Structure 1
C-alpha cells in the first residue's frame, strides 16, 4: 500500500454555473493551473465524445440506480454547468492536479474519465485504488 495512490471520485450538484458570459469575454484566472482542468482542452474532449451513448450496464448490475447518471437534471435552462466533478487523494484529502471540472449534464462518464486520467497523468505510481460511488458502472467502458 505504500506505493498505491488512493483516489476518491465524486460530484457536487449544489454548484450551478449560470450561462451569462463566455470564455472569450470572461477568461478564468490561472486556467489549467493547480486543481482545475484546462477549459479549452476539457471542453473539446467533452464535445468530441458528447454523442457517446452512456451505457449503464451491459449485464444485470448489482448496483443501485444512481440518479446523477440515469436521470440528469432536466431543469438546466440557463446554466452552463450543473455541478462540479472532483478527484481527491483519499489518503490525504487533497485535490489532485487538473482534477476539478464542470459537469454539463449530470454525472457523465466522459467528464469523470477526463478528470481521472488528467489527474494521474505523469504519476510514477503503477497501483491505483479508485473509490467511486458508481464504480460498478463506471469501470465497464473506462477505455
Structure 2
C-alpha cells in the first residue's frame, strides 16, 4: 500500500495506481506501508522511481519510438524540487531531429546543473521559489538548501545528497537569464536603442536627459541654452564601507556573468587600472574622519573589497549604469574617478 504526501485527498492505493496517478507529478513524496511482525503498522518514505515511474521527455510521457545509438535508454538524475531531493529516472528523446538534452529538460520544467552530461536537475519551481524567498525574506542559499535537505530526511539530514555547489551555479545563471529577458535583449531591443546603451542590463533613470531615448539628438544648442536646467544631468558620488566582499575560497575561477553590463564596472579593466595607481600617503590619524578611518581600520587580509563607491543622479537617486566600483584599499579619488569616467563614457 502507498500514499502520497503532496496530493490532496488521494486514497491509499497500490503500486501500479500510484505510478499512473503521478505521470505528470513525478516529484511528489511517496510513503509505503511496511509490515512488522505481520502487522502493517508504520510508513516509510520511498521514491516514485523505485516504483517504476520514468519521466519521458519530448513525447508527453510516451515512450520514444527510437532507441539511442549508444548507451542505455534511460538516465538517472538527482532532481531538486521545493519538497526536497529526489532520485529520478529520465528517458530522453532519441528521434533524428530531437532537440538537445538541455532543451528537452527545459521544456519539461527542469534546469540542468551542467550543459554536458548533467546528473543533477532543478525544477523551475524551486528556482523561482528561492528567488522569491531571498528577495522577500532574505533567505540565504545555504539556509534554503539546508531546508531542502531537511525536508528530504528530517532525521538524518547529512545523509541527503549535497547539491549546494550546483544550486549556487544554477541560481546565478538563472538570475542572469532573467535579467536579460527583463531588459529585452533576447527580443532585439538593441536595434531600437542608441549605441551607448546597447547590451546594458541596468535600468537607466527615466527622467534624466538621455540623448536618443527621452530627448532628440537634434535638440538645438539655442533651445538648451534657454533652459539648461532641463538638459543637465546632476551626478553625485558616495561610498559605503559596510559593503565589504570577502575572498571566495570555494571557486577561485568564479567570474561575473554581467561584468561591465549592469551597475558594476568591468572587472579586468578596473583592476588593471588600479595596478597603475600609486598608493596614497597615509593621512594623520588625529583627523578622526569617520568614513576614512573605517575604511583603513577594516582588516583586508581576507577581504577582496573594503567597500564600494557609486555614482547616482542627485535629482532622482537612481544608480547610473556602470557606475559602481570596489574600494580595495579604502576610499581614494582614483576609484571615484574611474566610476565617473565609466558612467559618462
- TM-score range relative to shorter protein: 0.5 to 0.7
- Unpaired runs of 5+ residues, structure 2, are 1-228
- Unpaired runs of 5+ residues, structure 1, are 57-63, 122-143
Deviations 1:109-129 (A, max 9, x none): 1111100111111xxxxxxxx
The question of whether the paired residues in 1 share the 8 Å contact of 2:307 and 2:326 is answered with yes
Q: Aligned match of 2:342 in 109, 115, 118?
A: 118
Partner of 1:100: 324
Using a 3 Å threshold, how does the CA distance of structure 1 residues 22 and 81 change in structure 2: closer, same or farther?
A: farther
Partner of 1:53: 280
The question of whether the paired residues in 1 share the 8 Å contact of 2:298 and 2:306 is answered with no
**1:28 pairs with 2:256:** yes
Using a 3 Å threshold, how does the CA distance of structure 1 residues 105 and 68 change in structure 2: closer, same or farther?
A: farther
Q: Distance in 1 between matches of 2:237 and 2:271?
A: 19
Structure 1 runs of 4+ aligned residues shifted over 6 Å read: none
Partner of 2:244: 16
Higher relative contact order (CA 8 A, sep 6+): 1
Partner of 2:300: 76
**Residue 105 of structure 1, CA deviation:** 1.4
Q: Distance in 2 between matches of 1:99 and 1:75?
A: 25
TM-score normalised by structure 2 residue count: 0.30
**Residue 95 of structure 1, CA deviation:** 0.9
**Residue 73 of structure 1, CA deviation:** 2.6
Partner of 1:6: 234
Query: How large is the RMSD of aligned CA atoms in angstroms?
Result: 2.5
Larger Rg: 2
The question of whether the paired residues in 2 share the 8 Å contact of 1:86 and 1:101 is answered with yes
TM-score normalised by structure 1 residue count: 0.68
Using a 3 Å threshold, how does the CA distance of structure 1 residues 74 and 116 change in structure 2: closer, same or farther?
A: same
Normalized per residue, the structure richer in helix is 2
Q: Distance in 2 between matches of 1:22 and 1:110?
A: 31
Partner of 2:176: none
